[in-house]
Amino acid sequence: MADVTGTTRRIIGIMTGTSLDGLDGVAARVTGRALDIRIAVGRRAARSFGPLQPTLREAADQHPLPAGAFARLARELGALHVDLIHAL
C-alpha cells in the first residue's frame, strides 16, 4: 500500500527452494524510488510442506498425477501460502 506521497509500499515475498522442504516468507517495507529506494525487513516466517512434500516432488519431477490429486495439491499448497501470509 502506498502512503499519501506514493513512496511507501508494504510487500510480502514467499519462496521455496529446489529442496521442496517448505515455504519461507518475509514482510518488508519499501520506501523511496529508483536509486533512493530503501527496504526494511520486518517479520519472517516459514512453513514446512510436511505431508505435501512427496506429492510436490512427484509433480516437480513430471510424474503423472490424476486431475483430482493435482487439484487437491494445488488447493493445499494455496492454503499453506495463505497460512504463511497470515503469520506475516
Per-residue pLDDT tens digits for 15-34: 998 889 999 999 999 999 88
pLDDT over 70 at 1, yes or no:
no
Query: For the whole model, what pTM was predicted?
Result: 0.81
Quote the CA–CA distance of 24 and 22 in Å, as a whole number.
7
- Decide: 39 and 30 in contact? Cβ < 8 Å: yes
- Decide: 41 and 28 in contact? Cβ < 8 Å: yes
Q: Which of 23, 36, 34, 30 is nearest to 87 (CA)?
A: 23
